[in-house]
Amino acid sequence: MNARLLPSRDACADVEPGADDGTPGFDERRFRHALGRFATGVVVISAGSGATLHAMTANAFMSGSLKPPLVVVSVGTRARMHERLMRATSFGVSVLSNEQEPHSRHFAGELQSSFAPRFASVEGMPEVALLEHALARFATRIVDRHPCGDHTLFVGEVRLFSLGEQAPLVFFAGRYGSVAHPAG
């Protein structure tokens, strides 16, 4: 059976003239809202350690490959983290648990009062630090960078990782949530 995806009447109604990006009929604001309908996990990307540590919240993270073990993060070219990753040889990714919403808010620019995030250094990788108590943590060596519109995709080969058992922090339609921890 052949199937075709046809635009719905609603989809056509969403296209408005005078787009933010200069493309006739493309509404960038509504496009962002449509992308927000994809539920994602939340990560903190980190580069450097000690006094040079810089971290940011992101939800553009994915597995790139199992063999070799690769992960990918997408960072906007205007973000301070972008410049750091362009010069860096490695980065860290800490997948946040449902108890780490303050971490997400803090590294997204909403400083949390009396909040002191704790990072752990990674043995053998002096330029990587990862958040303590994260659901999963990945220490990577940058193996590739790909321009992608107003972002760059940074590909990291996973050198070390750890895995926790908490429930994940989820982001959907501009709000935080969680899902039940899977049994067993």
Q: How confident is the model at residue 63 (pLDDT cuts 50, 70, 90)?
A: very high
Q: Which two tokens stand for residue 84?
A: 């750091």
The residue type of 110 is E
Q: What tens digit of pLDDT does each residue of 77-88 get?
A: 999 999 999 999
State how far the Cα of 11 lies from the Cα of 142, in Å rounded to an integer.
39
**Confidence at residue 183, expressed as pLDDT on a 0 to 100 scale:** 63
Q: Which two tokens stand for residue 2?
A: 């052949």
**Is 70 exceeded by the pLDDT of residue 3?**
no
Q: What tens digit of pLDDT does each residue of 25-56 get?
A: 789 989 888 888 888 999 999 999 989 999 99
Q: How many CB atoms lie within 10 A of CB 94?
A: 28
For the domain made up of 41-171, the CATH class stated in words is mainly beta
**Confidence at residue 37, expressed as pLDDT on a 0 to 100 scale:** 86
Q: Are 143 and 155 in contact (CB under 8 A)?
A: yes
| Domain range summary for the chain, segments of one domain joined by + | 41-171
> pTM of the predicted model, to two decimals?
0.83
Q: Are 134 and 119 in contact (CB under 8 A)?
A: no
**Is 60 exceeded by the pLDDT of residue 12?**
no
CB burial of residue 2 (10 Å; 0-12, 13-18, 19+): exposed
Query: Of 38, 45, 36, which is closest to residue 104 (Cα–Cα)?
Result: 45
- 70 contact partners, CB below 8 Å, separation of at least 6: 63, 64, 143, 155, 156, 157, 158
